[in-house]
Every structure is written in C-alpha cells, then in structure tokens.
C-alpha cells in the first residue's frame, strides 16, 4: 500500500537523561514565589491596577485623525478644559490613532453619556470615531463582581476536580500554583501600569486552565511513578517525574508561546494587552507547575501503599547533572545509541 | 488501540468531511455562497460587532420609578374603590412601600377590606394560570389598612414592563432600517440592543429615549381613507396609517378620547364563554370616566387604538364600558392577542430607559481587526505547525493534519451553532491550536520514552497512545471546567472566548487522539507491521 508521506525523524532536542535537581532547590523556589506573591499583593494594595472602563466606569473613545498625525498636546488642552474631570490621551498603535479615556462622572448613568458626547463634539469632524465604550456605574460594579467570582469559581472548580481525580495534596499544590499565577500576573500588570479590563479576566481564566493543565500532566506522572516505584524516596520520585515530563512541558510551552507571539505581533492594538497577559501567564504557569505544584508534595507528603514497609533510603539518590552543554550532548548521543542499557544506568 | 475497524475509518472521514463542508461558506463572499446548489451548506459564521462594526447598547429600566408609578395608581384606585363602597376614610397616602388608609368608622372596616381586596390581581399571565396575588391587603393597627405589593407582584410588573419596553425598542430600531439588529432581554430589567453597521448611535438613542405614545381615537363615522385622500380631510380629523402597512388607513379624530397614561394594564386571556383569545384592559379612574362617556354615546361605532401614530386595531364598541375595564375580542390568535396586549402595555407603562453601557466599533476598526486577526491566526497556526513537524517528523505531519481537522471542526461547529466570531474568539482559536498540540506532544513524548525503555516500535506506539490518553483526558477536563465557568459568568467578549475555547477543547481531543491515531494506524498498515524497524517520531 502506498503512503503519501515519507518517513523522517523529528529533531529530538531534549537531553532525556538529564536529571535536573529541581527538588534540591525547592526551598529557594518557594521563597522566590512567596516574595513574588507578596510583592504582587503589595503592589495591588498600594499602586493598584490601572482598571479599564469595564471596571471603573467612564468612557473610552478611540479616534483617528483624518489628516496626518494627531496633535496630542492640542487635543489634551482642548479636552481637559471641558470640565469633565481628567481626560487621559495616548496614541494607540499608529500616530493618527488616539485613545481617549474619560473618568467616571459623578451623578449616575446619564452623565457618562453626556461626557462622551462633549468629547465627540469638541473634537469635531476632523476625527473619525473608531470605537466608543461607555460603561455606567451599575454595570462596572457588576462586571467587577462577576470577574472576581469567575476567577475564584474557576479556582474552586479546578481544585475540586483535581481533588477528585488525585489526592488532596495534589489539589493543594495545584491551587497554590494557580493562586501564584493569578497573583503574579496581576502584580506585573500593576507594576507596568497596563490596562486591566474584562479581556484580562478572560486571559486570567485561560491561564488557570493552561497552568492546571501543566500541573495535571506532572501529577499524572507522579501518580504513575508512585505505583511503579513503590520504594523510591519521595523527593527522588518527584524529581524524576518532573524531569520525565520536562520535554513535554517545554515543547507545549513553546508551541503555545509561538501562537501567542503571533497574536502579540500581528493581532493588532485592541488585543495586545490580552495577548501579553496570556504570554505572562504561560511563562508563569509553566514555572509554577514545575517549581511549586510538584515540589509542594515533597512537603505535604503523599499516601503510598509501600509493600512490606521497607525502610526508605535516606539519601537523595543518584543525580546526573551534566556540567556543560557538551556533557548534555554526549549524554543524548549515548541515549540514542544504547537505548535499553543506558536507561537502566540513568535510573 | 491501533486497530481501526472499517466503519470507524468511514465515520472519522465523514466527520472531517462535514467539518470542511460546513466551514467552506466562510471562505467566500455572501453573494457567491447564495448561488450555491441547495445541498451545500450556506450558513456563515456571524461576525461579532467588534469585527464588523456596529453598536451595542445596554438599556436599564428604572424599576424604582416603576414601583412609584404603581403605588400612585394603587392610591387612586383605593380612593375610587372606597368611594364606590361608600366607606369614609382619611389619611390616604404612600408610606414605606405601601398604600395606607385610615377608615373613619370601625364598623365599616370589613366592608372596606372587602372592597380593597378586589384590587389584588393574580400574577402570572391569564393564559398560564395564576401564581398568587400581586398585592397583600391587610389590617394594620386598629383603623388602618395597608396595601403592599408582593415581591411576585413587583417581579410580574417589571417583567410586563420589560416585554413592553422591548416591543417599543424593537419597533423603533427596526424603523431605522437595518435588518440584522437584535433586541433581547438581559436579566430581569435590562434590554440589550445590538445594531450591526451602525456607528452614530445618537439617532438610535434619541429614538429609544422617547416614550411610547398610546392614544384612543374616535373613527370618522362614514368617510373612508380613500375618500379623504381624494377630497380633503375634514377639520379636526387626520388620516392615520395602519400598523399592518400603508395600504390600510383610517380617518380619525385628531384629539384623543383617552391617552395611554390612563391605561393601567392590558393582558392577553381567553373569553370565558367562547374560549377565543381576547385582550383584557383596565383604565384608571379618570380614564374609566372618559372612556365610559364615549362608549355610552358610540355603541356600534368603531374606535381606534393608536400607538406612535399608527393604528394598531379598530374594534367596534359592543356595549358601553363603564367600570373602566373591558376586553377586545375578535379574530385574534393567541400570538396576536399577546402582541396587542404587549403593545398596549408599552404605551401604558412608558418605562424610562437609560443607557448603562455602550460599545460602538467603527467599520474601519472592525475591518482592521479582521485583517489583524486573520494574519495573527495564520502566522500562529503556521508557527505551531512548523514547530510540530520539526520536533516530530512524519508523526509531526500527522499531528498537523489533525490540527487542520481541528481548525475546520471548530469553525464548522461555531457556524452550525451560530456563535458569533469576536476578536477574543480569534485569540481563543489561536490558543486552542497551540493547546491542541499538547495532546500530540504528550503522546509522542510517551512513544519516545517507551522506545528509550527498549520497547519494540509497535508496542511503543501502542503504549504511547494508551498511556497518554488518561493524561490528556485529565488535562482537557480541567481546562473545560475553567471554560464552562467563563461561559456561565462571563458577558460579551468573555463569553465568545469561552465558547471558542470549549468547542476547541472537544475538537482537539478528537483531532489529536482519533485523527492522528487513525493516520498512524494507516501508516503501520501501509508498511506492514513486521517491517517497521524505526518510528519516525
């Protein structure tokens, strides 16, 4: 039978008998993560987030200057004298496009509309309106609430699922990793002063999905290894599981990042923030599943049915960590030529 | 795991084919698709407002105002009822959300209670049967009676007013000309108007801001509209078109007999004797008096119900309507009775609507977004594909074929379901492509691992698919949990994203697990099991 695709091997870039000692540095990683989370919380409570109109109300108007670059300072002068509070003006994507933000007006729903109209009238026919978003106080407070509920409901749902499929220690690890992802992403948004709107909440929820995906893959391997190596020291077993799944963690991360980079570069100004949040989340999510979710099991311990209660070796066990990339290459070559025996040696 | 029965191969092929067929219309302009033969799918993926440009307005009803209006009407009704029952009273007023009245003579208390209890109406439409009363009428202290709207009653009011307001908004938005606008209820007291293609919302908002004008007019006794057009319209009369179309018009007295403000309620129902659909209506005190006087003098003559200068209906007066409430009957279906009742209410309860959220996207930005989305989508998919083939060789090609099927299936499913494609939706699409590869990565890494452990090629492939399956299931289900919650709680853009993500998760499992596995099994067959010495992964 004829098959239209010729056989060719893929490029296996990953040194598979690499055993990076993740567990040895778990204390350091936890410290780093805790510091990051604390810093994010600190930023959130002191600097706060640059909320978009979705969450604080007010108007957002994107206009395009019809003849050449938009005169930003002139616009600023004009719009700030309208008596509608502070008006933020920034160029958006290209020098003809301008984003105007009007803060929420006091007095209720009708006032927001009036302020938006004032801006549009003041700018005159030289500017084409590309986008207008006006959100009143009732809707913005609702969106804020549902956004928050959505994030926490997802966290809880994921946690319950993981608990159901694995054991509570896994769920605890997952939830801590997820909390870490959300907090640090929010912290970075706060630090950089990026606009935080409804689409960022969607990004956060997706990050939760992606990160737990990673954690579940590692957890799955841990569970499998717990059955396979009933007497292996837990720290060693966790380390082995992380290392065994590392190639998939990195490859999947790479393909996801490739897609998101395309969105960031070509997707246009409107979804740039959203794409950026996604990118952050995938990097942070990958980190957390490798450095938080799995190592946490080392602290919490897992129930295992060891037969005969044999004494566990106290030592961390053999660890192979090539000192240089040349070493890694050699190790890879060795793995390819002598598949079966070298595997046993690596273990 | 690697053996596929013939019918399974055919089923997979059919699913893929259906995916391609249902996606196809999206690649062609609408005009071309319309000329296609009937057996090809014609449905295209509707573009969201952020992509095609248009206006999105969220309107809220003033429920406090609604409650106030109701209490005012209730106070007037209480006065009328007590006067009719000839009960002496003082201190009629509204306090803390209820109408309160003091009965002067204690011995008339029971009589007063009985008279006022008539004001309570069953909630729920007459068609669906009753669902409790809309008012509680009770003694408060020695001499006071309080009439308090029940929560169900209030809910019923809001719901009635909302359907009336939707009717008004819908009618006016349609009058602006564009066909694809939608007006839907959101929650209990909000109305969402979506108007593709419209950018200047000023006109739309002005139209919505007006309250509906409902009036009742006398019809000219003998002149028809045709005659009036040929000669001239008599003084004090005017020609009004029918709501059904311009062909029918009526000559009506210009000054109305009663205006809609005097109408308290209108509900569809059934005549108790003939069982035909009717509309029952009720006027307040002053409306009842005016309408009573008119109908007394014009038995046998028609009168016209006019909404926003269009004649809705011109029923003939069968007998004087003195008590303020009556019914309109004759050749209604359940639907048309319901429509007329809603129209009457939209004039009777001119609810003030305020814009609480507005999002408008100009067509130029929409077009830019589509272009950007297309480019980003293409580049994203391409980058993912190249990476996969570089990393996994021939099996990588299988994975990419799976990804292409996955892409087609997402678009096909979204088209069939009728979800609108939004910019976040495109982002979700790119992301699911990236995440769908994950399933393949899991499988192939597992195969490599089994090979390194010394398994034979066939055994390694088999084990790879089998072992990775559990992990894939777990990881996709958890992502699904997040997506479902996003859909459940999210609004607008989040929802569009969640739908894409959910569909993407489902199709990615099919693509990665079924399609790729089928390709691998075909590949094994083409080589012959015994002759496979190496796995091209």
Q: What is the pLDDT of residue A322?
A: 54
Q: What is the pLDDT of residue A339?
A: 47
Window 167-196 of A: residues touching B by CB (8 A cutoff) are none
User: B106: which DSSP letter?
Assistant: G
- Which tens digit of pLDDT belongs to each residue from B83-142? 888 888 888 888 888 889 988 888 888 888 888 888 887 775 544 545 577 888 888 888
* Mean pLDDT, rounded, for A295-317: 64
Q: What is the pLDDT of residue A347?
A: 38
A22-50+140-304 and A58-135 share one fold: no
- A246 near B CB under 8 A: no
Rounded to a whole number, what is the distance in Å from the CA of A239 to chain B's nearest CA? 17
Tokens 């946490």 label which residue? A296
State the best of B64, B357, B477 to mutate against chain A, taking most chain A CBs within 10 Å.
B357
Q: What is the largest CA-CA distance in chain A?
A: 85
> Is the distance from CB of B174 to CB of B186 less than 8 angstroms?
no
Return the minimum-mean-pLDDT range out of A110-114, A214-218, A290-294, B173-177.
B173-177
Count CA atoms closer than 13 A to B390's CA, side-chain side: 11
Q: What is the pLDDT of residue A313?
A: 46
Q: Spell out the domain ranges in chain A.
A: 22-50+140-304, 58-135
User: B227: which DSSP letter?
Assistant: H
* Mean pLDDT, rounded, for A107-133: 86
Rounded to a whole number, what is the distance in Å from the CA of A38 to chain B's nearest CA? 25
User: B330: which DSSP letter?
Assistant: S
State the best of A4, A9, A10 to mutate against chain B, taking most chain B CBs within 10 Å.
A10
| Architecture of the A58-135 domain | 2-Layer Sandwich (3.30)
For residue B453, list chain A residues with Cβ-Cβ distance below 8 A: 339-340, 343
Q: Please name the helix (run of DSSP H) or strand (run of DSSP E) that holds residue B237, with its range, or none.
A: strand B237-242
Rounded to a whole number, what is the distance in Å from the CA of B372 to chain A's nearest CA? 5
For residue A110, list chain B residues with Cβ-Cβ distance below 8 A: 354-355
Domain B6-50+362-531 has CATH 1.20.1640.10: yes
Rounded to a whole number, what is the distance in Å from the CA of A84 to chain B's nearest CA? 18
Q: Are strands B54-61 and B353-361 parallel, antiparallel or unpaired?
A: antiparallel
For residue A135, list chain B residues with Cβ-Cβ distance below 8 A: 356-358
Tell me which residues of chain B have a pLDDT lower than 50: 126-127, 129
Question: Is A217's CB within 8 Å of B442's CB?
Answer: yes
Question: Is A220's CB within 8 Å of B360's CB?
Answer: no
Question: Is A158's CB within 8 Å of B481's CB?
Answer: yes
SS3 B280: strand
For residue B489, list chain A residues with Cβ-Cβ distance below 8 A: 146, 149-150, 153
Read off the tokens for B78: 């209480």
Q: Spell out the domain ranges in chain B.
A: 6-50+362-531, 211-355
- Which tens digit of pLDDT belongs to each residue from B434-488? 778 889 999 999 999 999 989 999 999 999 999 999 888 888 888 888 788 878 8
- A158 near B CB under 8 A: yes
- A161 near B CB under 8 A: yes
pLDDT over 90, % of chain A: 24
Question: Is A251's CB within 8 Å of B383's CB?
Answer: no
Rounded to a whole number, what is the distance in Å from the CA of B344 to chain A's nearest CA? 28
* Mean pLDDT, rounded, for A158-177: 88
Beta bridge partners of B258: B216
Q: Pick from A9, A131, A212: which is nearest to B393 by CB?
A: A9
Rounded to a whole number, what is the distance in Å from the CA of A120 to chain B's nearest CA? 11
Question: Is A162's CB within 8 Å of B478's CB?
Answer: yes
The CA R_g of chain B, rounded to the nearest whole Å, is: 33
Window 280-299 of A: residues touching B by CB (8 A cutoff) are none
Q: Is the pLDDT of residue A320 over 80?
A: no
- Three state DSSP letters for chain A: CCCCCCCCCCCCCCCCCCCCCHHHHHHHHHHHHHHHHHHHHHHHHHCCCEECHHHHCEEEEEEEECCCCCCHHHHHHHHHCCCCCCEEEEEECEEEEEEEEECCCCCCHHHHHHHHHHHHHHHHHHEEEEEEEEECHHHHHHHHHHHHHHHHHHHHHHHHHHHHHCCHHHHHHHHHHHHHHHHHHHHHHHHHCCEECHHHHHHHHHHHHHHHHHHHHHHHHHHHHHHHCCCCCHHHHHHHHHHHHHHHHHHHHHHHHHHHHHHHHHCCCCCHHHHHHHHHHHHHHHHHHHHHHHHHHHHHCCCCCCHHHCCCCCCCCCCCCCCCHHHHHHHHHHHHHCHHHHHHHHC
Question: Is B485's CB within 8 Å of A259's CB?
Answer: no
- Which tens digit of pLDDT belongs to each residue from B229-252? 777 778 788 888 887 766 778 888
Beta bridge partners of A269: none
Q: Which fold has domain B211-355?
A: Gyrase A; domain 2 (3.30.1360)
Domain A22-50+140-304 has CATH 1.20.1640.10: yes
- A277 near B CB under 8 A: no
Rounded to a whole number, what is the distance in Å from the CA of B213 to chain A's nearest CA? 23
Q: Pick from A10, A154, A162: which is nearest to B485 by CB?
A: A154
- Which tens digit of pLDDT belongs to each residue from A232-242? 888 899 999 99
Question: Is B494's CB within 8 Å of A202's CB?
Answer: yes
In chain B, which residue's Cα lies nearest the Cα of A263?
Answer: B376
């Amino acid at each position: 039978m004829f098959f239209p695709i010729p056989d060719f091997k893929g490029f296996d870039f990953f040194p598979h008998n690499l055993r990076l000692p993740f567990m040895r540095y778990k204390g350091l990683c936890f410290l780093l993560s805790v510091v990051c989370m604390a810093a994010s919380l600190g930023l959130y409570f002191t600097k706060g987030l640059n909320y978009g109109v979705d969450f604080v109300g007010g108007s957002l108007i994107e206009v395009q200057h019809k003849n050449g670059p938009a005169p930003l300072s002139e616009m600023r002068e004009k719009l700030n004298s309208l008596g509608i509070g502070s008006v933020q003006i920034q160029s958006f994507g290209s020098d003809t496009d301008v984003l105007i933000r009007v803060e929420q007006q006091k007095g209720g729903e009708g006032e927001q509309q009036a302020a938006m109209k004032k801006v549009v009238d003041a700018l005159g026919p030289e500017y084409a309106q590309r986008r207008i978003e006006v959100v009143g106080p009732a809707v913005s407070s609702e969106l804020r609430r549902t956004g928050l509920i959505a994030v926490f409901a997802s966290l809880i749902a994921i946690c319950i699922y993981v608990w159901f499929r694995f054991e509570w220690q896994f769920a605890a690890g997952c939830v801590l990793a997820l909390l870490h992802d959300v907090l640090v992403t929010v912290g970075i948004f706060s630090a950089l002063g990026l606009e935080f709107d409804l689409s960022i909440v969607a990004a956060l929820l997706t990050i939760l999905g992606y990160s737990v995906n990673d954690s579940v893959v590692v957890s799955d391997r841990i569970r499998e290894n717990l059955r396979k190596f009933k007497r292996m020291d837990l720290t060693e077993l966790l380390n082995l599981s992380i290392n065994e799944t590392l190639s998939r963690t990195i490859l999947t991360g790479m393909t996801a990042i490739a897609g998101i980079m395309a969105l960031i570069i070509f997707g246009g100004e409107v979804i740039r923030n959203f794409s950026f949040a996604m990118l952050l989340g995938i990097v942070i999510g990958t980190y957390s599943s490798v450095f938080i979710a799995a190592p946490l099991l080392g602290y919490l311990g897992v129930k295992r049915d060891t037969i005969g209660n044999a004494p566990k070796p106290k030592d961390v066990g053999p660890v192979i960590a090539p000192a240089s990339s040349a070493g890694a290459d050699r190790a890879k070559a060795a793995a390819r030529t002598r598949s079966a025996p070298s595997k046993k040696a690596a273990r | 795991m690697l053996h596929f029965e013939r019918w399974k191969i055919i089923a997979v092929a059919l699913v893929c084919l259906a995916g391609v067929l249902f996606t196809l219309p999206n690649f062609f302009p609408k005009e071309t698709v319309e000329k296609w033969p009937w057996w090809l799918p014609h449905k295209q993926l509707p573009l969201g407002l952020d992509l095609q440009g248009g206006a999105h307005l969220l309107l809220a009803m003033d429920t406090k105002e609604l409650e106030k209006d109701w209490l005012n009407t209730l106070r007037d009704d209480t006065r009328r009822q007590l006067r009719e029952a000839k009960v002496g009273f003082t201190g009629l007023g509204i306090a803390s959300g209820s109408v309160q009245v003091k009965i002067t003579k204690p011995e008339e208390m029971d009589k007063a209670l009985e008279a006022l209890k008539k004001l309570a109406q069953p909630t729920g439409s007459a068609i669906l049967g009753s669902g409790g009363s809309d008012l509680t009428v009770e003694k408060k202290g020695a001499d006071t009676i309080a009439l308090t709207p029940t929560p169900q009653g209030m809910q019923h009011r809001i719901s009635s007013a909302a359907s009336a307001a939707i009717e008004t908004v819908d009618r006016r938005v349609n009058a602006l000309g564009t066909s694809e606008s939608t007006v839907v209820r959101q929650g209990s007291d909000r109305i969402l108007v979506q108007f593709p293609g419209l950018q200047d919302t000023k006109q739309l908002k002005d139209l919505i801001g007006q309250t509906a004008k409902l009036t009742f007019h006398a019809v000219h006794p003998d002149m028809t509209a045709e005659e009036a057009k040929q000669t001239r319209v008599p003084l004090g009369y005017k020609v009004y078109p029918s709501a059904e179309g311009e062909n029918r018009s009526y000559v009506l007295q210009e000054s109305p007999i009663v205006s809609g403000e005097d109408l308290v309620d209108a509900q569809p129902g059934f005549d108790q004797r003939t069982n035909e659909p009717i509309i029952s209506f009720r006027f307040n005190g002053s409306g009842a008096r005016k309408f009573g006087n008119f109908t007394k003098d014009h038995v046998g003559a028609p009168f016209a119900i006019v909404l926003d200068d269009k004649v809705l209906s011109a029923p003939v007066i069968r007998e004087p309507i003195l008590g303020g409430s009556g019914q309109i009957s004759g050749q209604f279906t359940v639907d048309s009775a319901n429509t007329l009742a809603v129209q009457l209410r939209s004039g009777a309860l001119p609810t003030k609507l305020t814009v609480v959220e507005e999002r408008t996207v100009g067509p130029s930005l929409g077009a830019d977004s589509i272009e950007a989305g297309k480019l980003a989508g293409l580049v994203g998919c391409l980058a993912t594909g190249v990476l996969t083939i570089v990393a996994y060789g021939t099996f990588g090609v299988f994975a990419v074929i799976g990804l292409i099927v996955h892409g087609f299936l997402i678009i096909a499913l979204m088209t069939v379901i009728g979800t609108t494609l939004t910019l976040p939706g495109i982002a979700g699409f790119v992301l699911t492509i990236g995440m769908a590869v994950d399933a393949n990565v899991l499988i192939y890494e597992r195969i490599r691992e089994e090979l390194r452990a010394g398994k034979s090629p066939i055994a390694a492939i088999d084990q790879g698919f089998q072992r990775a399956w559990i992990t894939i299931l777990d990881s996709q289900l958890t992502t699904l949990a997040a997506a479902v919650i996003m859909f459940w709680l999210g609004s607008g853009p989040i929802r569009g994203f969640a739908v894409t993500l959910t569909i993407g998760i489902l199709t990615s499992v099919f693509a990665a697990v079924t399609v790729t596995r089928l390709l691998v099994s075909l590949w094994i067959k083409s080589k012959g099991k015994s002759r496979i010495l190496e796995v091209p992964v």
